[in-house]
Structure 1
């Protein structure tokens, strides 16, 4: 397929958009909140949260269902964990002032990993346009529909099936013309769209488009998307723009997959192993001190 207007996402391209300097304390690297997890899928919030810290974010909060909060607090002792009311299906329920308070001081927010679409989640994401923070929407937060809003662009991270749901079309149509779907969604929602797949497309609301083909088939594993969303949010918390955070997240995720394919095998490595590779990747490319 000939996509002449799409740029290749390479280390050389990233060197032209270095990450913000790390500073000397956690306050310098931003505060983020992961809103996610459910009784059935509590680990998704953990995968995303750990990836955000590995990307260099300074302070982490996790807002999840109350019945899983203690376990997550033990699993991620670096985080402040907020237990939220849950509904009869084990999803986060409305009515928590603690959640609103947690988001007020955040530089970046990730919503959706490990969650299903619910009326609460749809209403909640609609209100996030009022925030100054960079907002990353993943998984269940995508299925409720995303509307254009003022402020910084959202970062949307759908795979082909989720994109089809958002567009009201078919997965096969998205797979046949992914660039066209990504450009339209980015324009319609004023967002940065990361359309995940063997070839991941990153498209901005102004039509700026990038493609990344690295990482290998091993990244197509359960929880890999949660790690990617966490990396993007971590880079955004550090002060990267929405487009820069998306590009750095996609490339670093792919590079981690490439390294794991060499050390573990092309298939069979776990999503939890992805974020462990990230500090070394950033160090080798002189990113941690840039």
Structure 2
């Protein structure tokens, strides 16, 4: 079993992000599709989408519940926003899976899960999307989309080498059918178990986040602070990782950079505003400067 390597700027400079040159169009910068939101939590898709654009993606699409789509389109004019059928509980209708599966063929990375409600509907949508998705997009699975993955292993195998999971302790406990206390007692062990079981890069989020590849390589990142434990923070992390994958970074590279950038953004906000009380919506604006400084050795 490999030793755990710390994630820092020096490590990231040894695995640089793809460069984009003058004259490239927005498609070459990467296309991200965020599938998420609900009538009660429409803003989660906004947070993931904004983080994806700030992390360098060239094009953004958001697919969300129909009743919230017009408001989201006005709030984020940079995105193409599609309204989807809704369940009685206010979630995305799983019957939309076939429509979304075709849409996935035209993007480079997908975020699935932020702000989604109606657990049974999300499980069905996740299963059918993974089974039917066209193309070769990478997937970042977050929040409610993680809940039913133990029953999706045949579908997950279709996307081997293109999957990132971003659970916190409670979501990991449900994913592995373990008590939350057991996950909190051994977060690295839980991340290793999930990565091996599901064949994905896994981020076990926490005060010190653990990242594990399907092959068992492991990293730890203690960037960030308690201020990042705020509503919507995880949605921004999912968007960052998806954008870096869409730009052409391998899933492990995108994840290591994403976790570091997210934590460093929290550090800078804490320095500017104080350690408690900054908002998830403020995280994305910090990203371009941090990416530049890390790449240049600042």
Runs of 4+ in 1 over 6 A off after TM superposition: none
Deviation at 1:30, TM superposition (A): 1.1
- 1:129-178 deviation per Cα after TM superposition (whole angstroms, max 9, x unaligned): 55511100000101122424133341000000100011111111001011
- Report the counterpart of residue 275 of structure 1 in structure 2: 284
Deviation at 1:54, TM superposition (A): 0.3
Q: Distance in 1 between matches of 2:267 and 2:277?
A: 13
Aligned length: 285
SS of corresponding position for 1:136: strand
**1:231 matched to 2:240:** yes
- Report the counterpart of residue 16 of structure 1 in structure 2: 14
- Report the counterpart of residue 101 of structure 1 in structure 2: 102
Deviation at 1:101, TM superposition (A): 3.1
Deviation at 1:119, TM superposition (A): 3.2
Q: Distance in 2 between matches of 1:223 and 1:197?
A: 14
TM-score (norm 1): 0.94
Q: Distance in 2 between matches of 1:4 and 1:105?
A: 37
Q: Distance in 1 between matches of 2:88 and 2:124?
A: 18
- 1:12-66 deviation per Cα after TM superposition (whole angstroms, max 9, x unaligned): 0001111111242211111110000000000000000000000000110000000
Over the residues paired in the alignment, what is the CA RMSD in angstroms? 1.6
Q: Distance in 2 between matches of 1:149 and 1:91?
A: 26
1:128 to 130, 133, 143: 130
Moved more, 120-129 or 157-166: 120-129
Q: Distance in 1 between matches of 2:184 and 2:83?
A: 38
Is 1:192–1:202's contact at 8 Å kept on the other side of the alignment? yes
Q: 1:102 to 1:4 in 2, by over 3 A?
A: closer
TM-score (norm 2): 0.92
SS of corresponding position for 2:257: helix
- Report the counterpart of residue 43 of structure 2 in structure 1: 43
Q: Distance in 1 between matches of 2:112 and 2:220?
A: 24
2:266 to 245, 257, 276: 257
Q: Distance in 2 between matches of 1:246 and 1:233?
A: 9
Q: Distance in 2 between matches of 1:188 and 1:100?
A: 24
Q: Distance in 1 between matches of 2:5 and 2:130?
A: 30
Q: 1:117 to 1:239 in 2, by over 3 A?
A: farther
- Report the counterpart of residue 87 of structure 2 in structure 1: 87
* Unaligned stretches of 5+ residues in structure 2: none
Q: Distance in 1 between matches of 2:186 and 2:234?
A: 21
Aligned runs of 1:172-183 on 2, under 5 Å? 172-183=181-192
Is 1:35–1:64's contact at 8 Å kept on the other side of the alignment? yes
Q: Distance in 1 between matches of 2:104 and 2:137?
A: 9
Q: Distance in 1 between matches of 2:85 and 2:56?
A: 30
1:193 to 185, 188, 202: 202
Q: Distance in 1 between matches of 2:8 and 2:222?
A: 10
* Unaligned stretches of 5+ residues in structure 1: none
1:168 to 160, 177, 180: 177
Is 2:111–2:239's contact at 8 Å kept on the other side of the alignment? yes
- 1:240-282 deviation per Cα after TM superposition (whole angstroms, max 9, x unaligned): 1111111111000001001001001011100000001001111
